[in-house]
Structure 1
């Protein structure tokens, strides 16, 4: 009887022990890692620069536009992070170059073995440089490009003959898009080439002035099959009708013919208010994408949310090709802190 009793106690102990083990399985390596939290990206007037297998995204900081420009990086355009090596995430920061307030609408380009950032500050345009696309972008001499009017929204385009052109917005009689050839060291324009490109009209393009303001802005330019395509936004950015169209020319200086099917990006096809002021770029596979901002919500404008949508050119008979976006590819961007 004693043996049977002891044997029973042993069985009960072993069963209880196994039950405890099955209730607390062994830990897996990394199991205690804190879950990655993705945050909404709030960058207005965004631009994407692709270099060395990495996408770099910059924009206007709607939370505080007087600090400078944040930079986000990604290898796949899906997973974005703020990279190390920056000044608290900033590629350009107030004090390192021209400007004390209103840091808006940056664009980064590569030339002469340097990275350059064209940007707006104090309603003037300046160009800073860096050894890295994450910055710091600085100026030895902190100055804006000489101009006879206030100017914003720079976009530097290099033609196939090597000439560089500055597309930008001049604040005179509304917001009007101009172009001029840059000089060789990017410190100014060749004044005799300054030409008006785009202004808002109501007769042929009524979508451009539904809010009443005469605004065309946010230029970005590409060259395709010998023709130049200028993408731009119109209306006040606070309007739900802020949208994107394009125009075509056989010369970087114009004249420009607006596409009759404008706008190509609007609340009608994206279902979000105020989509616009972005940058057309090609990804690693040669596909076209347009990075842009949209309003914060159906009732609130700022801080504006960053998003990307894909698009493509199709043959349109004689002359210019037709550009269309695919609304199904639209996605708002998020990021994680490293």
Structure 2
């Protein structure tokens, strides 16, 4: 007969081992509240997510950020920027993109959802000394406030390639690339053009670019942002200017998990060929157009360098602490 105290000891120990053996997962969505168009980044040894606050246009007057040491537990940084610090921005602050340069953090964003030239709004820049802000207007005016090549000035992404910093942006089914000047106050030219159109087949919005094994991967969102057909596709080229020929869809809805998955970014683990996709999606059965939730999944490649189809999950990703420097 087993001693009752010994049996209790075994139960406690086995329970502890069981807890330790379980891999902690983030769960999707990874952050509470309605957030969309997330940009993932790594700064100062932490993961960051910079999303759009998803609500009616007139309520989109600020942006929050979130940081984590392990992709699982997230800290909210409230109102890292708002229209009070950007006098020309009135509403519809969308799709932040951030990059560090010489110890400063530059946050690119769009505001006012302009529908024509000289309406007042477009793509702007804010700057801060820390990744969690607070951010202040950098130029005092939009960086881009007109339509070039038919591209609405929204959905900006900053891509660093060597010493070059490119701004890739555009809605209304057109995408432009522009080479930023050294202090981000304007642009240099590419092949004699300030705004070079790189629009691939079926492009709608949400551009993202990265480089892997010498190849340039260009990703974008297709479909209606409020609908179930919203998804992400990609192309590969030898140059950041393309040409980009659509290869496949890599992220889309799963009717058993969520609807309308799109407008993403990627996080790469430093020194590793290890990638995560940060994106938004819609809950099943929820018809409110602004109810978008930010999620994270693993992103993987096959042996030929093509991106594998991403599987939507409710579990999310396992804890992935960053190595301390």
TM-score (norm 1): 0.73
Counterpart residue number, 1:245: 233
Structure 2: any 5+ residue segments left out of the alignment? Answer: 1-29, 114-121, 318-325
Q: How does 1:317-332 map to 2 (within 5 A)?
A: 321-327=305-311, 331=315
The offset of 1:188, in angstroms, is: 2.1
* 1:165 match: secondary structure: strand
The offset of 1:327, in angstroms, is: 1.9
Instruction: Mark the CA change 1:273 to 1:143 in structure 2 (over 3 Å): closer, same or farther.
Output: same
Instruction: Mark the CA change 1:154 to 1:138 in structure 2 (over 3 Å): closer, same or farther.
Output: same
Find 2:208's aligned residue among 213, 220, 225: 220
Write out per-residue CA displacement over residues 134-178 of structure 1, whole angstroms, 9 at most, x where no aligned residue.
111112542111343141001011112x111110004xxx32121
Q: Number of aligned residue pairs: give it.
A: 268
Matched, 1:70 2:48: no
- Greater shift, 128-137 or 185-194, is seen at 185-194
Q: How does 1:197-208 map to 2 (within 5 A)?
A: 197-201=198-202
Counterpart residue number, 2:6: none
The offset of 1:311, in angstroms, is: 1.1
Find 1:153's aligned residue among 155, 158, 174: 155
Contact 1:60 1:104 in 2 (8 A): yes
Q: C-alpha distance in 1, partners of 2:315/2:174?
A: 30
Root mean square deviation, CA, Å: 2.3
Q: C-alpha distance in 2, partners of 1:297/1:247?
A: 29
Write out per-residue CA displacement over residues 105-161 of structure 1, whole angstroms, 9 at most, x where no aligned residue.
00111012100101111231111110011111112542111343141001011112x
Find 2:251's aligned residue among 254, 259, 265: 265
TM-score (norm 2): 0.76
Find 1:49's aligned residue among 41, 65, 70: 41
* 2:170 match: secondary structure: strand
Q: How does 1:269-308 map to 2 (within 5 A)?
A: 271-283=257-269, 286=272, 287-300=274-287, 301-308=289-296
Contact 1:53 1:284 in 2 (8 A): no
Q: C-alpha distance in 2, partners of 1:227/1:248?
A: 7
Contact 2:281 2:295 in 1 (8 A): yes
Find 2:32's aligned residue among 33, 40, 56: 40
Where relative contact order (Cα < 8 A, 6+ residues apart) is larger, the structure is: 2
Instruction: Mark the CA change 1:194 to 1:96 in structure 2 (over 3 Å): closer, same or farther.
Output: same
The offset of 1:82, in angstroms, is: 1.3
Structure whose CA Rg is larger: 1
